[in-house]
């Protein structure tokens, strides 16, 4: 089929972006829902220490998403760029290698987590009174890592094949099962942390099986046995294109670990103690993930459209779809900002009761740390845009600006002078600096005359 007849190169951009972004948003929301649902049931049954325990385990979930993006978005970008260039044989090779790497990396992570469980929980910042709960929860969810990685990463590959609704269905099915089983295991059977973890793994297994079945029945290509044999050039190309979103997740994981340890240390020196800050920040981080799910979903919906049209040299369409994506992101950011500023106590109350100190810390953290929520859409969308057009180095750099270049140094310095309050003010400052860098980089890119041709 002539590539000019491909709907990615011909269909109106608004409908294309909606077609790919909405299922991507749902998929990201579903991924966040796994954490939010566990947080709700654990908070209501186990309480503050259970909430803190899920936050201690959270870096491993971030790492799973990072692996998923490395080979999921990387494989999808390589596939779509090659299809746009008319090289179908090369495209399907990227798809097969990406799927294999998703499974292998998930298995490796499970083994490492199981062997080094307690040292990892301590390294991630667990206080003594939280460690037992963290080990209970993580020991079980570790068995779901290969399935979580395959579901999340496989969803990107499925969307690249032109079936975003199938990817949405795979994720949504597992999330619904997880929610139902959470209620049964935690509230009815009283299994606590173990019940929430078991429900999560079962949902992930079912989602992964659906994704695996579809990948073996793609719409536009057929993956053969030879496409599953790992080749260095294929894996390198996929990894290079997925490096930007993966780097952002790895940076988030590093920040989360340093954050947990900082909250533990400076919390113990404050009136809040070492567990209240960890519990509150865990909940708030996952609530903010809901907002970011919309943003990241838009950036992922942008990916196949920008990749194909860039490969087909339709640069005006590439520019137009990017501008549409950031317009949508701005609206979502403003809505989230208003919610976080006006209703922080109501949001935190959903996840169980706490002392007045607990609510005091949560409200201040919401309003200060997440102050720049209205502008945080630009960096992830732009970072993924650079990846989609085959410029992964720029995407990687941009993805690291907020978390590593700005946030981490400030996270070390500010609390030395301001105590635990310093952690809160690091967020908006790092967000603002990353925003400035993003604007400079994207303006330079879009000034290229080819985008106006």
> In this predicted model, what pLDDT tens digit does every residue of 150-191 receive, in sequence order?
988 888 888 777 777 787 788 788 888 988 998 899 888 888
pLDDT at 3 over 60: no
Please give the residue that has the higher pLDDT: either 2 or 412.
412
> In this predicted model, what pLDDT tens digit does every residue of 189-209 receive, in sequence order?
888 888 988 998 999 999 999
Nearest CA among 156, 163, 146, 172 for reference residue 217: 163
pLDDT at 247 over 60: yes
* pLDDT for position 340: 94
Average pLDDT over residues 6-26: 78
* pLDDT for position 2: 43
- How far apart are alpha carbons 149 and 69 in whole angstroms? 9
CB 170 within 8 A of CB 161: no
Nearest CA among 58, 61, 92, 355 for reference residue 224: 92
Residue 39: both structure tokens together: 């947080």
For residue 332, what are the CA distances in angstroms to 120, 174, 398? 35, 26, 21
> In this predicted model, what pLDDT tens digit does every residue of 128-141 receive, in sequence order?
888 988 999 999 99
> In this predicted model, what pLDDT tens digit does every residue of 254-287 receive, in sequence order?
888 998 899 999 998 999 988 888 888 888 888 8
Dihedral sign, Cα of residue 331, residue 335, residue 341, residue 344: negative
- How far apart are alpha carbons 265 and 20 in whole angstroms? 43
pLDDT at 451 over 80: no
Residue 304: both structure tokens together: 């196949």
* pLDDT for position 280: 87
- Confidence label for 453 from pLDDT (cuts 50, 70 and 90): low
H helix runs in 312-350, sequence order: 315-342, 344-349
Average predicted confidence (pLDDT) for the chain:
86
Nearest CA among 426, 417, 163, 175 for reference residue 281: 426
Q: How many residues does the chain have?
A: 453
- DSSP codes joined into one string, 177-245: HHHHHHIIIIIIS--HHHHHHHHHHHHHHHHHHHHHHHHTT-SS----GGGGS--HHHHHHHHHHHHHH
- How far apart are alpha carbons 278 and 48 in whole angstroms? 9
pLDDT at 366 over 90: yes
For residue 115, what are the CA distances in angstroms to 24, 143, 253, 360, 408? 34, 12, 20, 38, 29
Output 385-388 pairs: Cβ under 8 A, ≥24 positions apart.
Answer: 385/299, 385/302, 385/306, 385/322, 385/325, 385/442, 386/244, 386/441, 386/445, 387/73, 387/77, 387/241, 387/242, 387/243, 387/244, 387/245, 387/303, 388/77, 388/302, 388/303, 388/304, 388/306, 388/307, 388/310
pLDDT at 1 over 50: no
Task: Report how far Cα 200 is from the mean position of its chain's Cα atoms.
Answer: 17
H helix runs in 46-85, sequence order: 48-84
Task: Report how far Cα 185 is from the mean position of its chain's Cα atoms.
Answer: 27
């Amino acid at each position: 089929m002539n590539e000019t007849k491909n709907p990615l190169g011909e269909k109106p951009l608004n409908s294309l972006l909606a077609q790919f972004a909405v299922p991507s948003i749902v998929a990201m929301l579903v991924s966040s829902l796994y954490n939010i649902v566990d947080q709700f049931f654990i908070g209501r049954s186990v309480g503050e220490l259970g909430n803190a325990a899920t936050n201690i385990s959270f870096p491993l979930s971030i790492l799973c998403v990072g692996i998923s993006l490395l080979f999921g978005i990387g494989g999808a970008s390589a596939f779509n760029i090659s299809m746009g260039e008319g090289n179908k044989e090369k495209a399907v090779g990227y798809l097969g290698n990406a799927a294999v790497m998703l499974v292998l990396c998930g298995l490796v992570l499970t083994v490492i987590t199981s062997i080094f469980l307690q040292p990892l929980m301590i390294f991630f910042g667990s206080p003594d009174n939280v460690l037992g709960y963290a080990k209970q929860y993580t020991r079980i969810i570790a068995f779901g890592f290969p399935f979580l990685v395959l579901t999340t990463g496989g969803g990107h590959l499925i969307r690249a094949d032109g079936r975003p609704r199938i990817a949405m269905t795979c994720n949504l099915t597992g999330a619904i099962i997880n929610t139902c089983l959470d209620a049964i295991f935690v509230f009815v059977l009283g299994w606590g942390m173990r019940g929430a973890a078991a429900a999560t793994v079962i949902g992930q297994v079912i989602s992964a099986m659906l994704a695996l079945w579809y990948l073996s029945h793609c719409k536009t290509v057929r993956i053969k046995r030879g496409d599953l044999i790992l080749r260095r050039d294929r894996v390198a190309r996929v990894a290079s294109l997925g490096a930007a979103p993966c780097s952002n997740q790895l940076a988030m994981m590093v920040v989360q670990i340093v954050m947990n340890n900082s909250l533990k240390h400076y919390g113990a020196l404050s009136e809040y103690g070492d567990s209240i800050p960890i519990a509150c920040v865990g909940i708030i981080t996952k609530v903010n993930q809901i907002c970011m799910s919309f943003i990241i979903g838009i950036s992922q919906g942008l990916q196949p459209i920008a990749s194909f049209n860039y490969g087909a040299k339709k640069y005006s369409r590439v520019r137009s779809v990017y501008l549409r994506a950031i317009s949508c992101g701005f609206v979502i950011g403003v809505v989230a900002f208003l919610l976080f500023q006006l209703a922080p106590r109501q949001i935190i109350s959903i996840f169980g009761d706490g002392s007045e100190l607990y609510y005091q810390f949560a409200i201040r953290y919401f309003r200060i740390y997440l102050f720049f929520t209205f502008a945080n859409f630009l960096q992830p969308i732009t970072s993924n845009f650079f990846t989609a057009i085959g410029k992964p180095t720029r995407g990687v750099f941009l993805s690291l600006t907020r978390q590593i270049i700005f946030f981490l140094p400030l996270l070390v310095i500010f609390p030395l002078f301001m105590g635990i309050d310093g952690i809160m003010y690091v967020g908006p400052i790092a967000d603002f600096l990353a925003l400035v860098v993003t604007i400079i980089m994207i303006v330079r890119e879009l000034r290229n005359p080819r985008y106006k041709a």
